[in-house]
């Protein structure tokens, strides 16, 4: 929550402290797969179980998993990843309606500022796996696509899981944004839509092993 009473100089120091704390706690985590999705889709949702399966597959492959640390899809991802060979990490955010950290995290960090938290996601990302979600999930999705499009970060897979959920958005991007010249045809290749968790894992693990696995302990 924005603190209007805090002097601007002190707010800068608080931001700095979050950056330093996050970098320090994750200093040994060179690369990770980032999994996003709605906090509202719990164990009764098939997407929760898909996130759990994906977390397990990635962790078995030696790839740490980072989620937003909360319930729903985030919990599923951490639950699948923990104890499977690689770290299960949660980057929690303080919200007006307090977000409870899920219990399946080897490392659990808390952030006040969304932009600091997003920096930490991007700093370690070798892939984004995006399950159905709301505004926050879309925010993370388009943050990644923008940074890849503008070459502000090394390109990595952005995989959307759930064709039925994402097809409307993808159609609008293609039929409106692309048709009206707001993006180029190459920008449509910056993300992939799949239904299979195995396919999502294959894309992510293949990219990781090709570009990063040799340096994971450096």
Query: What are the sequence ranges of the domains in the chain?
Result: 32-165+192-211
CA atoms within 13 A on the CB side of 202: 7
Q: Over the chain, what is the mean pLDDT?
A: 93
Q: Which CATH architecture has domain 32-165+192-211?
A: 3-Layer(aba) Sandwich (3.40)
For the record, the structure tokens of 157 come out as: 């897979």
Rounded mean pLDDT, 204-217: 80
Radius of gyration (C-alpha) of the chain in whole angstroms:
17
87-130: per-residue pLDDT in tens?
Answer: 999 999 987 765 689 999 999 999 999 999 999 999 999 999 99
pLDDT of 1 reads 47
Q: What's the number of CA atoms in the CB half-sphere (13 Å) around residue 218?
A: 4
Average pLDDT over residues 200-210: 96
């Amino acid at each position: 929550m924005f603190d209007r009473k805090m002097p601007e100089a002190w707010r800068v120091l608080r931001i700095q402290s979050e950056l330093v704390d996050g970098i320090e706690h994750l200093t040994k985590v060179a690369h990770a797969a980032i999994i996003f999705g709605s906090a509202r889709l719990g164990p009764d949702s098939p997407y929760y179980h898909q996130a759990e399966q994906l977390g397990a597959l990635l962790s078995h492959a030696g790839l740490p998993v980072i989620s937003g640390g909360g319930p729903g899809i985030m919990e599923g991802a951490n639950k699948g990843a923990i104890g499977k060979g690689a770290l299960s990490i949660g980057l929690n955010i303080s919200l007006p309606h307090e977000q409870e950290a899920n219990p399946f995290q080897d490392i659990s960090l808390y952030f006040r500022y969304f932009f600091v938290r997003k920096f930490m996601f991007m700093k370690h990302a070798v892939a984004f796996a995006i399950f159905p979600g709301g505004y926050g999930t879309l925010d993370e999705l388009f943050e990644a696509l923008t940074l890849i499009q503008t070459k502000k970060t090394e390109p990595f897979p952005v995989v959307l899981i759930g064709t039925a959920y994402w097809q409307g958005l993808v159609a609008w991007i293609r039929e409106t944004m692309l048709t009206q010249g707001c993006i180029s045809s190459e920008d449509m290749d910056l993300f992939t839509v799949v239904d299979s968790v195995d396919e999502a894992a294959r894309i992510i693990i293949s990219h990781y092993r090709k570009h990063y696995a040799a340096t994971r302990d450096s």
